[in-house]
Amino acid sequence: VPEFDIPGHARGLSPLKPAGLKFCSPRADETQLYNDPDGFTLRILTDLLAEMSALFEDDVFNIGSDETETRGFCTSASTFPLARHMVDTVGRQYNKTPEGWEELMFTEQAATRDTIVDAWTSHDASTVTAQGRRVVESAAAHFYFTEAAPAGA
């Protein structure tokens, strides 16, 4: 299942700025998308994810949404509705099950009842399933092999 991480971690989409894609600040290293009042970002994302949805035949479509912040132009009033719109679009327009990191459910409150939640840092799988949701256990301490192995291991 591919992950198209929005609205945060989206610097790879910066070539779409000339088409109207907006970021939270004008800095060249900005990584988070801005849900602008004119709807440019929303239209571009909807078109882009429609194309990606057709390319990947999986029943699940992961929109990421981890480490999304309110900063710069991005307030909770603009950022969180963008995430919810994309979750709804994945489910209704693309007929796929939305998936995203735990922030999608706990911070942005954008997860629907059908959304699969990736529990990775502040919440564990049992917290998510206790609310009747499907979950992927993705705790960094269990699955990220970025630490050096202890001597002799």
What CATH number is attached to the domain comprising 58? 3.20.20.80
Give the pLDDT mean for 55-71. 91
User: Both tokens of residue 129?
Assistant: 């399933």
Residue 153 located in a structural domain: no
User: Both tokens of residue 16?
Assistant: 């779409």
Give the chain's largest Cα–Cα span: 58
Residue 147 located in a structural domain: no
pLDDT band at 32 (very low <50, low <70, confident <90, very high): very high
Q: How many domains does the chain have?
A: 1
Q: How far apart are alpha carbons 58 and 52 in whole angstroms?
A: 11
Tell me what the pLDDT averaged over the chain comes to: 90
Residue 74: closest CA among 31, 34, 20: 34
- Residue entry with tokens 């992961």: 62
Q: What pLDDT does 126 receive? A: 95
Predicted TM-score (pTM) of the model is: 0.87
Q: What pLDDT does 141 receive? A: 73
Q: How far apart are alpha carbons 112 and 114 in whole angstroms?
A: 5
pLDDT of 83 higher than 60: yes
Which residues constitute the domain of residue 120? 11-141
Q: Which residues are catalytic?
A: 67
